[in-house]
Structure 1
Amino acid sequence: MSQKLKIVTIGGGSSYTPELLEGFLKRYHELPVTELWLVDVEEGQEKLDIIHALCERMIEKAGVPMKVFKTLDRRAALQGADFVTTQLRVGQLKAREKDERIPLSHGYLGQETNGAGGLFKGLRTIPVIIDIVNDVQEICPKAWIVNFTNPAGMVTEAIYRHTRFNRFIGVCNIPIGMKMFITDVLRLTSDDDLKIDLFGLNHLVFVRDVWVNGQSRFDELLEGIASGTLSANSVKNITDLAFNEGLIRSLRLIPCSYLLYYFKPKEMLAIELGEYYKGGTRAQVVQQVEHQLFELYKNPNLDVKPKELELRGGAYYSDAACEVINAIYNNKQTEHYVNIPHKGHIDNIPAEWSIEITCTLGQDGAQPTPRITHFDEQVLGLIYTIKGFEVAASEAAMSGDFNKVQLALNLSPLIHSDNDAERLAREMLLAHERWLPHFAKTIKDLKVSEGN
């Protein structure tokens, strides 16, 4: 590696950026970042300015020779980049609010990475990430892209299906939260060697085994969760409901919190509809948290990441990204949980699928752990179903075709009527028109058909 270590963060005005910088600062002795470039769009200029000023104060406090830059010119920022992180939200939180409210208005789960809301976040996001990938291939082709823009699984699937770029790794905070939960309940210390066998798709992962210093501790963990003495919910944005004891014992797997949407759809919908009819959705809560965070960030005396950032549902995303970058840069050959194409490593799913799995990371990227070569049969049907939805979503995003949007919606197990799928497709395409340039002709035709 060269003396210079340049990292470009696209979506640099995000409230998560101080955590990302904190991660780089605490690893500076082994990850000596010389330049951090924060890139955003015009709508994010004010937040970018606030974040940049806070980052400058944090760097000054840390006393390290790192420079932080801000720009709206992505292509200029990418010159000479070693790593690119993507943490963007097309349409910002107002678009997320529509992703939640419109499905709920039709009696369906409104969630930013699942069902109709997840599809439309993907439709807005995938073309933008592909544009970034194309720029990286042209300007800094040896750079690694570490993506923690949701829906991360759908995005990773689209990149490997629709580009030839192979230095793209998707990162999620859900496995990190599960690891922290396991560390806590097993009362482990930094001296303990913890390995977790985790597999599935993004926001659809299962823990199959837990190894502490070479010994399996899975049975005691499973018993605690099955009996209800332990709660495995590790995220702020999902209601903490316990999985049924019989389900956990029969699966002999520990599901991540997002699987509540598939194992408890009736209960989760009831909770979300209750919040919706009271006038609130998760997006509105997040907007309030964001506002409070940026008020804190403006304080000229603040020079550390505030504790309040942990109220955001994606806390620890950024730390996970720092760990991935560190492992690649220093060829660490350490274990992480990432989204990559498995290339036939798993013997009972299609070879071209991108999956989320325990991997070993080094200078050549991520390699799935040899401990997992087979997906458990009892959850294979659900995994196939959601992967079918992800593949259809990536095809729809690239095509701008109304019928492909309908197909993706109908393939989601969270949509229960083909007529409702058509209604949702129409209403959400029109609502998100500004952020869906790929769908310009489709939306024009919809307006004509509806007499607008």
Structure 2
Amino acid sequence: MERQKQNIVIAGGGSTYTAGIVTMLLDNYDNFPIASIKLYDNLEERQTRVAKACEIIVKERHPDIVFTYTTDPVEAFKGVDFVMAQLRVGLFAMRELDEKIPFKHGVVGQETCGPGGIAYGLRTIGPLIEIIDYMEKYSPNAWMLNYSNPAAIVAEACRILRPDARVINICDMPVCLEEIFARILGLNSRKDFDVRYYGLNHFGWWTQIRDHQGNDLMPRLMEYVREHGYEEYTPQGQHKESSWLETMRAAKDLYAMDPTKLWNTYLKYYLMAPETVAHSDHDYTRANEIMDRREKDTREECERIVAAGTAKGTWFASNEHAQFIVDLACALAFNTKERFLLIVPNNGAIANFPDDAMVEIPCIVSKDQYEPLSIGKIPTFQKGLMEQQIASEKLAVEAWIEGSYQKLWQSFMMNKSVPSAKIAKEILDDMIEANKEFWPELH
């Protein structure tokens, strides 16, 4: 049966990832046919630069696809099948503050973990809920694939504020790590194996990795990780920013804490916080790296394409981030029944963990639905870490809804990266001042 062409809107159209997502949609046209692609952003100038380049890419490769871009929500969300949401509220200028304010107090500065992640999450809740409402009003049968960071807090807010919305929260970090695993193993891609994984977003563990013949690949991976972490001696592994390479190396130290599992690297920000602070450049953070490289390179490439009137020779290409999104949309639209790591309500999947926790676990995705796989009971060590982290995330969302200073302070205190109530309060007060344009008023 011929697959019906889909209509897509990318919310956050001015993102540095947009051109890669558009390219991936075009690359997958045979499996995921497209009638139209729209870009939507509330920052017109930022989006226009990216959109004009994408318009040329689409016209050269698939002129039958209708490509438009807009700042009008009615125009953007009317008549679409999928909303691909990638919001960065406050842009990289606010990410820089998310990272540098905690460092000022001797605490990990990171965009999705610790106080910086909480700050970013509170900025994102309102705009994302607004987009969900637009989608439900103008395209009630559409699905939102939300990969706006920090996914854990955003997913919890969606669960409480829009529990019946057709929203699936996802993260590409496990995908990126699984591609590293595939390269370490000498395989073509992560699609050459199936995984068992559980945790929270940026807070989880692989417990099983098997190829499609059922062979256990974990021993080979563990032997490598014991010596090298996730650092890979390949062109893909060596042409990364220094902060990324440092994070990959940290997997070796995480692995030593429980060598029966493979760890999501973000756990280093909680369990290796003092070392992370000591080895970080507090004046030149990950945000600065991205602004000086990816953001700058993307802007210059878009301008080059527009000036030349052609995308020939562009370095914009598909990546793991985009491929995961397209594969998920394909499963929802065409019943491919693939397995994905999704952020979903627990509802008994992890038997000894709260039902209302938003957990990251494997799910089978078919036409217009997903089915979480049963995990069973998890060990005391992982369960305890997850309970503390989920409490911090829930308190942050409750603070946003209620405008509660007290609960937000408690959220900061509960976060394992913060060493004391006093420091939590000092960081919070600085964060309130920095985010006064974005956060609700706290009482």
TM-score normalised by length of structure 1: 0.89
Q: What is the Cα deviation at residue 386 of structure 1? A: 0.9
The alignment status of 1:389 with 2:397, answered yes or no, reads no
CA change 1:246–1:416 in 2 (3 A) is closer
The aligned counterpart of 2:220 is 220
Deviations 1:188-237 (A, max 9, x none): 24697410112111111211111112221111211221233763798855
Alignment partner for residue 367 of structure 1, among 358, 371, 375? 371
Deviations 1:340-365 (A, max 9, x none): 11322221111121111121111133
CA change 1:191–1:353 in 2 (3 A) is closer
C-alpha contact (below 8 Å) 1:146/1:171 kept by paired residues:
yes
Task: Give runs of aligned pairs for residues 178-327 of structure 1, distance below 5 A.
Answer: 178-189=177-188, 193-213=192-212, 214-228=214-228, 231=231, 238=244, 239-240=246-247, 241-244=249-252, 247-248=255-256, 250-272=258-280, 275-276=281-282, 279-289=283-293, 290-299=295-304, 300=306, 301=308, 303=311, 306-307=314-315, 316-327=320-331
The one-letter amino acid of 1:430's match is E
The aligned counterpart of 1:91 is 90
Distance 1:244 1:5 in 2: 43
The alignment status of 1:8 with 2:9, answered yes or no, reads yes
With 103-112 and 316-325 compared, the bigger mean Cα shift is at 316-325
Distance 1:184 1:193 in 2: 11
C-alpha contact (below 8 Å) 2:107/2:273 kept by paired residues:
no
TM-score normalised by length of structure 2: 0.90
Distance 1:246 1:292 in 2: 33
C-alpha contact (below 8 Å) 1:126/1:155 kept by paired residues:
yes
Stretches of structure 2 that go unaligned for 5 or more consecutive residues are none
The aligned counterpart of 1:28 is 29
Q: What is the Cα deviation at residue 322 of structure 1? A: 1.3
The one-letter amino acid of 1:383's match is M
CA change 1:194–1:244 in 2 (3 A) is closer
The aligned counterpart of 1:358 is 362
Alignment partner for residue 405 of structure 1, among 408, 416, 424? 408
C-alpha contact (below 8 Å) 2:346/2:354 kept by paired residues:
no
Stretches of structure 1 that go unaligned for 5 or more consecutive residues are 446-452
Q: What is the Cα deviation at residue 251 of structure 1? A: 3.8
C-alpha contact (below 8 Å) 1:126/1:158 kept by paired residues:
yes
CA change 1:304–1:26 in 2 (3 A) is farther
CA change 1:191–1:159 in 2 (3 A) is closer
Deviations 1:96-130 (A, max 9, x none): 11111111111111111111101100111112111
The aligned counterpart of 2:80 is 81
Distance 1:39 1:390 in 2: 28
The one-letter amino acid of 1:354's match is M
The aligned counterpart of 1:449 is none
With 186-195 and 169-178 compared, the bigger mean Cα shift is at 186-195
C-alpha contact (below 8 Å) 1:4/1:34 kept by paired residues:
yes
With 415-424 and 185-194 compared, the bigger mean Cα shift is at 185-194
